[in-house]
Amino acid sequence: MSDTKSASVPALPRSVQAGNGITRRDFLNEITLGALGIAGLGSVAVTYQYFSPNVLFEPSTTFRAGNPDLYPLHSVTFLQDQQVYIVRMPEGFYAVSAVCTHLGCITAWHPEHELIECPCHGSKFKDDGTKVAGPAPRPLPHFAISLTADGELLVDKLQNIKPSQVLKV
């Protein structure tokens, strides 16, 4: 530490010596960039929050589908407003989504083929949602279906259930 050179060079301030050769300018630059970086990340976060709506004015995902007697045995009924098929078979009731699992087009029930068919890219499904043909990657999902206290069918489109779970009335 104490060589001949140090006598002629003025000693650096203690704070600079302690910082392993980091100058004041470097320190201030880094702390400013760090602060700007944190502020930048924060503004990205609040912008993301701003663009995610907290309240959506979209149709309710739970709906009443009326009295079970409305649906004859061996029938597939398309509820256009809800984009759901209510299917009644001897084993019971089930609710199948009418939205194609390929790219979201609305399918149609074709009684003459006994198939649910998508007009956009030609996917075909059986009345229980099983895929028969086409580009759709998955079968049509089944929605939770139950009976209300006053005996009406109640479908919850946010709750997917296994196709084996049918509602017996």
Partner 1 sequence: MATTFHSALQSLRETKVWKSIFRRGPANTNRTRSLAVFGNLFLHWMPVKVREKSLRVRASYYLGSISFILFIVLFVTGILLMFYYHPAAPHAYRDMKDLQFVVSNGVFLRNLHRLAAHLMVFVVFWHMFHVFYRGGYKPPHEFNWIVGVMLLLLTLFLSYTGYLLPWDQLAFWAVTVGTNIISAMPVVGNKVRFLLLGGNIVGENALLRFYVLHVVILPLIAFFFIGIHFWRVQKDGGLTVKPKDDDGKE
Query: Residue numbers of the site for partner 1 (CB under 8 A)?
Result: 48, 51-53, 56-59, 102-105, 120
Asked if 84 and 153 count as a contact pair (C-beta separation under 8 A), the reply is: no
- Smallest gap from Cβ 56 to partner 1, in A, equals 5
**Please, which residue, 52 or 164, has the CB nearer to partner 1?**
52
- Smallest gap from Cβ 144 to partner 1, in A, equals 18
Give the Cα separation of 37 and 43 in Å (integer).
10
- The SS3 of residue 25 is helix
Could you count the other beta carbons within 10 Å of the beta carbon of residue 97? 22
Asked if 155 and 82 count as a contact pair (C-beta separation under 8 A), the reply is: yes
**Please, which residue, 20 or 52, has the CB nearer to partner 1?**
52
- Smallest gap from Cβ 31 to partner 1, in A, equals 32
**Please, which residue, 59 or 151, has the CB nearer to partner 1?**
59
